Amino acid sequence: MKGTKATVSQHADGSVRHAEKRRIGTCQFADRIARVSIDEYKKCIPKEWRDSNPQICLATIVAHFPSSLKNANHDKVGNTITGVESGISCNVSTTTTTAKNDNNTSCNIDMDTCSKNQESDDTESYGYLQVMALGIGTKFVSEDILRHDTQLAYSSKTSFTKSEDIHDESSIPLSYGMRIRDAHAEILCRRAFRRQLTLEMISLLEEKSIGDTHDGIHQYQPVLKLSQSSTSTLLSNNEEKSSPCFDLVDDQVTFHFYSSSAPCGNATLKKFVKMSKEKWQPQLGPDEWFQETHTTEPGHSIRLGQLALLVKKDSTCTVIDSSNELKRNHDEVSSSTKPEIMDKRKQKKSKVWPATTNDQWCPPGTSITQFNKGSIHTCSDKLCRWNCIGIQGSLLASVLRKPLFITSLTVGRKFTRVICQRAICCRVGEYTLNGEGRNKHMKNIQTLEQNKSIDQEKLKAYYLHHPSIMGTAVYLDESGVLDMSGEKMIGQDVRFISSTCWIYWPFCAQPESIDGETGFIQKTNDESCTSTEDDDIKQQRISRMVVSKVSTFSLTELFFQLSNLLCRNDNRMETYEYNTIQGIRQLKRILSPDYEFAKDALVMNRIFAQWRRREKEYPVVFEDAQFTV
């Protein structure tokens, strides 16, 4: 009967449901990427935690060395850099290694497991896959904490000097970037990747040989090499000596992103496009990834949110009345616009976009930027941004010959090719800083190009990259099936309960455990604190609240070590401040004007104009004319 709501009958006895929905992969290479990522996860994350948390979100960045490069450097692949974080001492034995971390505590590591090749089914004819970074997490800090941190970040100078110093939770952070705001797997993975690259650069500058002078616990094939460049911004214009920079060890080395589930945001918005099931590509070999020409998203439903940027929803936030906000913006535009122009606009019958009036159309856990339900952009938006300006970040861009981009994205759960293509690249349309191909939305930045500190040749490397999009039939959760006998529900989504997040990079002695709701290192015990506890116990509890090595503050601190080596230990970098948003923004503009220029140009794109930037508008002018931006 029409109008009658359909009822769901109970499942018959013996009915089961897979922990992960059965699916078809794209090609052998995508399955290899997923397999080596999951193997690394099982190797470095404690088994007790894995058993109690079968449903997680895992992300990795994997470096691929083609078979031709591996065969030409077979000795290097077999006897590679085995370095670990500075300050960590390791005593290597044939079975077990006892490593001391930065807190001088010991941990036992099974060397037989760690010494295995990261890809168990690898053969001599296959290329080599190496996990460069790994992240596990589904949480982010609340808006209340973010606003408190932002107020502190804009406050006066602080005396905070080292990321290892300890602070009470009520006063953290005294410096900007000490808290990891977004602890989703994709974001943590990229942070770990940046730290690993920095550590490798330091090892190269210190001229540590391949596999001879390092004692460590992880085999590692370097992806970078030293080269000479006279365009580095770490040295002044008066320097006659060329400053070393870094480049990929070979142009054939590529980086591949893996996510066990479709990135949150637009990649899970199953609308506005015709979808189809994935097809296996039998013609592709184990080192060949699927390549398809991407087309610009037509944008026929922009008003409905087809290409919109989204934020991760914080249910504790107060919702802004968007209708009043839109009306106020319309009145401001009307008062500053000439009457004849307004008449033409009235003829267009302009209407409020439906996508800006509510967020009911958004994927679960997300909201629109205008609703004040969050300020952290979704992983889909961030991946899309990285495909325009690279995954290396601003500071490392200053010492790399060219930005680094991912070559492919492999997705497990909730994968739909056309949706992911739209989310992470195609919705941008056009973005290039190369001559006549410049986007029409970037006309206003032409005057900035006159700045002498910007390398015009470097700008050509910043353009929209379209990575290969692939699905995989390798399952992260192989715990079996769920008994659905007597259940009326059709099924339910994965439930991410644990707030514990994990971060791993090859040079770390052991993975970091992060509390995704606070953004600091996970406390091992004494979780609760009462007002009656004595000062000694309270200090012991506070001492476990430490800053992660992949936080913005720690990464900047590590980059200072790198820059001092590049600048021949003249300690010039110590004069720069990076404990506030303004300070780190100015530092980035000084050291990496090309990257910052590309980032500013990206915000002028029609899609990224919605991007929420934390830093306020400050005039960035320095005494040295070379650094005037």
Q: Per the domain annotation, does 216 fall within a domain?
A: yes
Q: Is the pLDDT score of 501 beyond 80?
A: yes
Query: Average pLDDT of 614-629?
Result: 36
pLDDT at residue 168, rounded to an integer: 42
Task: Label residue 197 by pLDDT band (50, 70, 90).
Answer: very high
Please state which of the ranges 64-78, 92-106, 400-414, 546-560 shows the lowest mean pLDDT: 92-106
Query: For residue 191, what is the enclosing H or E element?
Result: helix 185-205
The arithmetic mean of pLDDT across residues 548-554, rounded, is 93
pLDDT in tens, 276-325: 999 999 999 999 999 988 888 888 889 999 999 999 998 777 655 544 54
Predicted pLDDT of residue 544: 52
- Establish if 147 belongs to a structural domain: no
In a domain, 93, yes or no: yes
pLDDT at 95: 33
- pLDDT higher at 571 or 118: 571
Residue 18 has pLDDT above 80, yes or no: no
> What secondary structure letter does DSSP report for 206?
T
83 assigned to some structural domain = yes
Q: Give the chain's domain count.
A: 1
Query: What does the pLDDT look like over 435-487, one tens digit per residue?
Result: 544 545 455 555 444 555 677 778 888 999 999 999 999 999 876 555 555 55
User: What stretch of H or E contains 406?
Assistant: strand 406-413
Q: Is residue 580 within 8 Å of 156, Cβ to Cβ?
A: no
HSE at residue 218, side-chain half, CA atoms within 13 A, is 24
Q: Between 415 and 236, where is the model more confident?
A: 415
* Percentage of the chain modeled with pLDDT above 90: 38
Token couple for 476: 């992260």
Task: Report strand pairing: 406-413 vs 254-261.
Answer: parallel
| Higher pLDDT pick, 397 / 241 | 397
Residue 460, burial from CB neighbour count under 10 angstroms (0-12, 13-18, 19+) = middle
Residue the block writes with tokens 């053969």:
123
Domain membership of residue 593 (yes or no) is no
Cis amide bond preceding 282, omega within 30: no
Lowest mean pLDDT among 10-19, 47-56, 89-98, 416-425: 89-98
Tell me how far apart the alpha carbons of residues 422 and 68 are, in angstroms, rounded to a whole number.
34
Pick the more confident residue, 76 or 219.
Answer: 219
Q: Would you place residue 161 in the very low, low, confident or very high pLDDT band (cuts 50, 70, 90)?
A: very low
Backbone angles phi, psi at 132, to 5 degrees: -90, -25
Could you report the per-residue pLDDT of 567-616, keeping only the tens digit for each?
755 555 666 677 778 888 888 888 888 899 899 888 888 889 888 876 54
What's the per-residue H, E or C state across 39-107? Answer: HHHHHHCCHHHHHHCCCCCEEEEEEEECHHHHHHCHHHHHCCECCCCCCCEEECCCCEEEEECCCCCEE
Phi and psi at residue 149, to the nearest 5°: -65, -40
Q: Does residue 72 sit within a domain?
A: yes
Q: Which domain holds residue 100?
A: 16-138+183-314+360-441+466-482+502-521
Q: Give pLDDT, residue 328.
A: 47
Give me 344's structure tokens.
């033409």
Per-residue pLDDT band for 130 (boundaries 50, 70, 90) equals very high
What pLDDT score was predicted for residue 511? 94
In sequence order, which residues have a C-beta less than 8 Å from that of residue 534 and are 6 or more positions away? none
Question: Once rounded to an integer, what is the mean pLDDT over residues 194-210?
Answer: 85
Confidence of residue 418 (pLDDT cuts 50, 70, 90): very high
pLDDT at 170 > cutoff 50: no
Residue 104: pLDDT band with limits 50, 70, 90: very low
Lowest mean pLDDT among 66-75, 244-253, 560-569: 66-75
Whole-angstrom Cα Rg for the chain: 25
- Res 500 pLDDT > 60: yes
What mean pLDDT is predicted for residues 40-64? 93
Range of lowest pLDDT (388-392, 435-439, 502-506, 526-530): 526-530
Q: How far is CA 331 from CA 326, 334, 335, 445, in A?
A: 9, 5, 6, 28
Query: Looking at the predicted structure, is the pLDDT value of residue 139 above 50?
Result: yes
Residue 215 — pLDDT band, cuts 50, 70, 90? Answer: very low
Name the more confident of 118 and 47.
47
Per-residue pLDDT at 509 exceeds 60? yes
pLDDT of residue 208: 65
Q: Distance between CA 38 and CA 483 in Å, rounded?
A: 25
| Residue 366: pLDDT band with limits 50, 70, 90 | very high
Can you give the pLDDT at residue 437? 44
Instruction: Inform me whether the pLDDT recorded for 491 exceeds 90.
Output: no
Q: Which pLDDT score is estimated for 295?
A: 82
Identify the top-confidence range among 122-136, 211-225, 376-390.
376-390
Average pLDDT over residues 245-269: 94
Q: Does any domain span residue 59? A: yes
DSSP letters of 455-475?
-HHHHTT-B----EEEE----
Residue 388 pLDDT more than 80?
yes
pLDDT band at 494 (very low <50, low <70, confident <90, very high): low
* Mean pLDDT value across residues 537-549: 60
Tell me the average pLDDT across 8-29: 77
Indicate whether 151 belongs to any domain: no
